[in-house]
Amino acid sequence: MNSSLPDIVTSIMEINKEFLESLTGPGAERMPTGPGLNRREWIGPGAADKLEAWQNLIAACRQEQLNFWSRLVPESLRRDPDILESFSHMADNRFADHEWQENPVLQLLKQAYLLASENLLATVDALFLPPDEKRKLKFYTKSLLDALAPTNFFMSNPEAVKRALETRGESLIRGLENLANDLKLGRLSQTDETAFTLGENLAATPGVVIYENEILQLIQYRPTTASVFARPLLIIPPFINKFYILDLQPHNSFVKYCLDQGYQVFLISWVNPGRQQSKLGWDDYVEKGVLAALAVVDNVGGGQKTNIVAWCIGGTLLATALAVLAARKKIKQIASVTFLTTMLDFSEPGDLSVFMDEAGLEKQEKRAGKTGFIPGQDLFYSFSLIRANELIWAYVSRSYLQGIDPPTFDILYWNSDPTNQPPKLYSFFTRNLFQANKLIEPGALTVCGVPVDLGKIKTPSYFLATIDDHIISWKTTFTAGRFLSGPRTFVLGGGGHVAGVINPPGQQKKHYWVREGEESGPERWLESARKLPGSWWPHWSRWLKRRAGKKIAAPERSGSDQYRIIEDAPGAYVRKRIDFSGSLKGVDVINKNRGRE
């Protein structure tokens, strides 16, 4: 290439100028019209003012772009070491390598990309579209911009180039091998999956399965203390994931922590549905799931009141089950409930709404009519897209461009082990809760033949939210407790949707916020809350111990005369794994051997 850097920059300036002028200049006036294409109809009432405001924004974006390029050329000619200093406010973790700050060409590329991204997203924000449509457009625009980041391409990734030179090309060969392996696997590898085996170094806390039906297996864990609290503790994980996120390795197992605190722990292991479970709906997961598990715990626990912990959509399911118990006058059997990052009010569903509109649901239902289930791969990809830079492109850069094998990480192993969903269950949740937000309106929703009224739930509750949750905004969890009538405790943890919950004591730099009483809104609550160092687990355990009953000798046997031991934990249901390359391992066949392979 014989062109000098100033010539290249000048050419890029002209291209940018022509593109931006096409949005606001004479060429824009020649845009086709007709149904759905007339710009004034497109942006709705007050079209003239809105169009002018939109054009002003584009003009501002154009001016900012031109300012960027015009200032860049003379600075490049002078080889100023402080080149682009005026744009340094646009920081991004993807550009952490020092070359992005020290190399003028890479600086140019980085700042041009960040500036164009910022302006394009601002343009989308300025469009006069219905909120749902704007959210979709902004989400997919950002997804495209994430995919086009210069860090995702070898020649513009300084770490990849440097590693290729250092390894004399071996990293490129290893990257191609990683890519070939992932193509066979059917998805991008996030961790070394050969490093983990359920029942050995994951989900290995000693326990037994004492009950199972077509929806769940119920695990009772063996006590680790000589005495235990009389009231049992039932844990309800989300049915869209495997339960062992709560029982990873001994040092970060929530289940083991609870056992070591003296609680009698029971846990639901949801089935990974196949065609045989295609008719199961929300009512089934309440009646044959939560309520059936509670009946077993009540029997084994000798009729003591039960404390319950539920996470994410498991908490949403629990809330409807509690409303059913309240309508049946049986809710006094519940001593307390803990909701971990749970959404009850779906008025602000976040980016998940992009994937759960009516058009998307109808496509899923049509496909499920042939397969008998909603594929777990779909939810896996959706959650990954919401955090694409962390869960997709970071691994593209390291695994494929740099030839670095994925790290050994238990949470990412779990993340790569999704479950299918029965279409009837998925449709009920999407239409009635996610789209119509009926759960918070008394009587608008009927579950198990009774109207749901969260206000009749007077059970003491503990709500945990996490400040960086990308799935459920912590402010949404904050307001969720107000729909219940009982005494409430709200705690805000550090971290995200998963890492903020799996936050065992002893980790440095961890913290959480607490406050006595409630303010009118989440912002005021946070302003006056106390930030405490460490994990929220001990805080929760102190709260629970006041509701756990007296201490008794730990039971010597598991189960009861009515509920006998079926098999050792973690059980057969959790072992049924989706094969991303096209088949299901052990999902469609549940025979006398419960689908073991």
Which residues form the catalytic set? 312
Q: What angle do CA 163, 112, 135 make, to 5 degrees?
A: 105
Handedness of CA 272, 276, 280, 286 (dihedral sign): negative
Contact 170, 120 (CB under 8 A): no
- By DSSP bridging, strand 450-451 and strand 446-447 are antiparallel
Give the integer Cα–Cα distance in Å for 66 and 540. Answer: 55
State the maximum Cα–Cα separation within the chain, in Å, rounded to a whole number.
86
**Tokens matching residue 475:** 């402010």
**Tokens matching residue 354:** 């992009």
Contact 247, 205 (CB under 8 A): yes
Give the integer Cα–Cα distance in Å for 588 and 367. Answer: 17
Give the integer Cα–Cα distance in Å for 21 and 300. Answer: 73
Question: Number of C-alpha atoms within 13 angstroms, CB side, residue 312?
Answer: 18
**Tokens matching residue 430:** 């999407």
Percent helix, percent strand, percent coil in the chain, to nearest 5: 50, 15, 40
**Tokens matching residue 270:** 């949801």
Q: How many helices (H) and strands (E) does the chain have?
A: 22, 17
Handedness of CA 576, 580, 583, 588 (dihedral sign): positive
Amino acid at 424: K
- 3-state SS class at 374: strand
217, 443, 448, 505 from 282: Cα distances, Å:
17, 16, 9, 35
Give the integer Cα–Cα distance in Å for 298 and 304. Answer: 6
- Could you give phi then psi for residue 276, rounded to 5 degrees? -65, -25
Radius of gyration, CA atoms only, the chain: 27
- Could you give phi then psi for residue 540, rounded to 5 degrees? -65, -40
Give the integer Cα–Cα distance in Å for 235 and 465. Answer: 17
Amino acid at 148: L
